[in-house]
Structure 1
Amino acid sequence: MRTYGQYCPIVRAVEVLGDRWTLLIVRDMLVGATRFNELSRGLPGLSRALLSRRLRQLVHAGLIVRTDDGYALTRAGEDLRPLVFGLADWGARHAFGDPKPEELDPEVLMWWMHGRIDTSALDKRTVIQVEIADRIRKYWLVLEPGDASVCYTDPGFDIDAVLAADLATLYRMWVGEIELLDAVRAGLIDLTGVRWVVRGLPNWLRLSPVAPSVRAAQEPARH
């Protein structure tokens, strides 16, 4: 590992965390990813070989440990939470803006969304078809009591609701820049289907963990 040759705790931290993808791996673990394939699906630009190398480095640094079915953060890893979400606060205030085309991956968004749906109120299977018009793509969120999954091909179940929008609008909703119901009222997002699903989805979908940072950064502009 390349070092900076300075005796300073900031330098030591940068030497551990400054490699490309490292903080994003920690970010995903802080919000619940524990398995290699989960991390890989959430970071598609990261090769599996490099992911393996970064995980070994994090184990060596004492930030994560191997478990029977994946990885877990240590106390040192958990202590990065305020740093990582402090970066979210700073980024939302000083480095955020309109999404760039190369930042918008529909499969990553669907993967993130399915992991943030609260299914505790469900008592039967519920299927939401997500239509992304500008990409001519469809995805299916299959919600079961206590579980949620995303399908990239038609699972063959009856559709209970349809959520339709362009990809950039869905991302803006996901990060908390716009409210789902506000976007529906404005005609930016279409949400149709059986009433209890249409009414329930805004409560079930918990949005991105960085949504509070994005909303807080927007507050000065609202006043």
Structure 2
Amino acid sequence: MRPYAQYCPVVRAVELLGDRWTLLIVRDMVVGGGAARFNELARGLPGLSRALLSRRLRQLHNAGLVEHTEDGYALTRAGEDLRPLVFGLADWGARYAFGDPRPEELDPELLMWWMHGRIDTGDIDKRAVIQVEIADHRRKYWLVLEPGEASVCYTDPGFDIDAVLAADLPTLYRMWLGEIELLDAVRAGTIDLTGARWIIRGLPSWLRLSPIAENVKAARAR
């Protein structure tokens, strides 16, 4: 990349973070608690090739923002200090640049990957299998919740289905991002949630929304 040739801290920051995908890698590490495995990053950024992901991680490592760990990668102190920037961008974007979703922005497999990683299994004492039906894509996915672990299956795992969550993809994204509440959508009929009563009662508290849902909620409230 051609340098900007300006002695300014903003310029230096842009030179480190301005390449395509770099900030999204940092975003995923920040919201994931500061650490991630390579395959997790690749799964959460499906438009990014593994070769380019390796290159960007190497650049972040050389810049002192990321370090290698036994399990993968972790943000350094300098990387963690980007947290306010990431959430500041989320806040600004939610207020000024976040309109209706475009079809190319809605990836059902990516949404399922995000959702399964935000399920709190602390109150789950037996297996719960939730079939997610996305009508406008004619696709089904399965969230398999176990005590202490949640996984997502893209093919039928072969377990009995305990509950079914059905909606169109834009509605599920809006729920995930905090624009609408799950129970409000169920009452309105835009999301259908049926099955075992203990799952219907528990899912709204088990499913923690996107880490930037509070930014979106605040922007909508304004």
Give the TM-score category using the shorter length: over 0.9
RMSD: 0.7
Stretches of structure 2 that go unaligned for 5 or more consecutive residues are none
Q: State the partner residue of 2:96.
A: 94
- TM normalised by structure 2 equals 0.98
The equivalent of 1:30 in structure 2 is: 30
Q: Displacement of 1:168 after TM fit?
A: 0.5
Is 1:130 matched with 2:132? yes
Deviations 1:114-150 (A, max 9, x none): 0000000011111100000000000000001111000
Amino acid at match of 2:144: V
Matches of 2:19 and 2:200 in 1, distance apart?
Answer: 43
8 Å CA contact 1:2, 1:15 repeated in 2 = no
Q: Secondary structure at the match of 2:48?
A: coil
Counterpart of 1:113 in 2: which secondary structure?
Answer: helix
How far residue 31 of structure 1 moved from its aligned partner, in angstroms, is 1.6
The one-letter code of the counterpart of 2:16 is V
For residue 160 of structure 2, give the secondary structure of its aligned residue in structure 1. coil
Q: Secondary structure at the match of 2:193?
A: strand
Instruction: Provide Cα deviations, 1:172-216, integer angstroms capped at 9, x if missing partner.
Output: 100001110111111100000100100100000001011000000
| 2:197 equivalent to 1:195 | yes
**5 Å matches for 1:62-81?**
62-81=64-83
1:208-223 equivalences under 5 Å are 208-220=210-222
The aligned residue for residue 168 of structure 1 is 170
**Partners of 1:123 and 1:148 in 2: how far apart?**
12
Counterpart position of 1:3: 3
Contact 1:163 1:192 in 2 (8 A): yes
| Aligned equivalents of 2:125, 2:46: Cα separation in 1 | 33
Aligned equivalents of 1:214 and 1:68: distance in 2? Answer: 35
Q: Tell me if structure 2 keeps the 8 A contact 1:40–1:48.
A: yes
**How far apart are 1:2 and its partner, in Å?**
2.9
Gaps spanning 5+ residues in structure 1: where?
Answer: none
Letter in 1 for 2:4: Y
Partner SS state of residue 115, structure 2:
helix
Residue in structure 1 matched with residue 62 of structure 2 by the alignment: 60
Q: Which amino acid aligns with 2:27?
A: R
Spell out the pairing of 1:41-56 with structure 2 (5 A cutoff).
Answer: 41-56=43-58
Q: Deviations over 1:73-97 (max 9, x none)?
A: 0000000000000000000000001
The offset of 1:7, in angstroms, is: 0.4
Q: What's the offset of the Cα at 1:68?
A: 1.4
Q: Structure 2 counterpart of 1:23, which letter?
A: L
**Match of residue 120 from structure 1:** 122
Q: Relative to structure 2, which stretch is displaced further, 59-68 or 30-39?
A: 30-39
In structure 1, how many angstroms separate the alpha carbons of the residues matched to 2:54 and 2:167?
Answer: 36
2:185 is matched with: 183
In 2: Cα distance, 1:2 partner to 1:151 partner: 44
Partner AA of 1:87 in structure 2: L
| % identical aligned pairs | 83
Moved over 4 A (4+): none
Describe the SS at the equivalent of 1:163. Answer: strand
Q: Give the whole-Å Cα distance in 2 for the aligned partners of 1:158 and 1:198.
A: 16
